[in-house]
């Protein structure tokens, strides 16, 4: 099996697809689709998003220092794509994609009610890295859709139909192939019948 060496580039896939909702100082709301988003730290809970400075939402995040990460499901993938290729300078993305707004509780930004998870974020730092600037942010609150709570009160995130982005295409998460720690987990002994 041969391998080719390519020039340096981003080939770290798949990535979560998220819609980031923002509000500027004048009260104008917008949504930007971001594939470059990730977990940074557990304690304190922190995330990052990377945005090109020329994007309309960049200024809004830079001014307000706040945003909401809204996870994308199969039902939201068309809206996510639209919000990634249309500018909020020209269209009201909430209206065009018929997305329901809800006010965040800890920050001044809208949430997308259609999303099963909304993560309220407050920017702590903006790292100017090149083509994209990375916003590091603390998680101020997380909202979950109660429809995905099981009878024991556990949130079944993987039942929501989450979508990933890989090399220019969107994919629905597939079958489960393991769970954290399964490779070292001891097998349970079967009880003997008496």
- Predicted local confidence at residue 194, as pLDDT: 61
Largest CA distance in the chain: 74
Q: What is the mean pLDDT of residues 97-118?
A: 97
Question: Would you say residue 141 lies in a domain?
Answer: yes
Is residue 92 scored above 80 in pLDDT? Answer: yes
Placement of tokens 């590091």 in the chain: 136
104: containing domain:
15-172
Q: What is the mean pLDDT of residues 133-161?
A: 96
- Average pLDDT over the chain, rounded to whole? 94
Question: Given pLDDT bands bounded at 50, 70 and 90, which one contains residue 108?
Answer: very high
DSSP state of 3: -
Question: Would you say residue 162 lies in a domain?
Answer: yes
For the chain, the domain total comes to 1
Question: Would you say residue 5 lies in a domain?
Answer: no
Question: Would you say residue 191 lies in a domain?
Answer: no
Cβ atoms of 15 and 165 within 8 Å: the answer is: yes
The CATH number of residue 109's host domain is: 2.30.110.10
CA–CA dist 72, 34 (Å, integer): 11
CA–CA dist 122, 139 (Å, integer): 7
Question: Would you say residue 163 lies in a domain?
Answer: yes
Instruction: Give the torsion through C-alpha atoms of 165, 112, 48, 156, to 10 deg.
Output: -70
Question: Given pLDDT bands bounded at 50, 70 and 90, which one contains residue 192?
Answer: low
Question: Would you say residue 184 lies in a domain?
Answer: no
The pTM is what? 0.92
Question: Given pLDDT bands bounded at 50, 70 and 90, which one contains residue 125?
Answer: very high
Question: Would you say residue 149 lies in a domain?
Answer: yes
Q: What is the mean pLDDT of residues 160-188?
A: 89
Is residue 176 scored above 90 in pLDDT? Answer: no
Kindly report, residue by residue over 33-87, the tens digit of the pLDDT.
Answer: 998 999 999 999 999 999 999 999 999 999 999 999 999 999 999 999 999 999 9
My answer on whether omega of the bond before 14 falls inside 30° of 0, hence cis, is yes
Question: Would you say residue 48 lies in a domain?
Answer: yes
């Amino acid at each position: 099996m041969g391998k080719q060496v390519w020039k340096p580039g981003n080939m770290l896939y798949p990535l979560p697809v998220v819609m980031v909702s923002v509000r500027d100082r004048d009260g104008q709301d917008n949504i930007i689709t971001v594939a470059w988003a990730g977990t940074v730290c557990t304690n304190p809970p922190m995330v990052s998003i990377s945005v090109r400075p020329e994007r309309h939402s960049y200024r809004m995040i830079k001014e307000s220092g706040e945003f909401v990460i809204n996870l994308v499901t199969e039902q939201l993938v068309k809206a996510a794509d639209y919000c990634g290729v249309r500018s909020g300078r020209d269209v009201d993305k909430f209206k065009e994609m018929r997305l329901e707004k809800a006010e965040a509780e800890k920050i001044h930004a809208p949430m997308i009610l259609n999303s099963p998870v909304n993560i309220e974020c407050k920017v702590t730092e903006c790292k100017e890295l090149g083509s994209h600037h990375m916003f590091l942010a603390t998680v101020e609150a997380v909202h979950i859709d109660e429809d995905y709570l099981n009878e024991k009160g556990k949130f079944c995130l993987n039942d929501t139909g989450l979508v990933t982005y890989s090399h220019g295409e969107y994919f629905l998460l597939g079958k489960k192939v393991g769970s954290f720690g399964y490779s070292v987990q001891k097998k349970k002994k079967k009880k003997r019948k008496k």
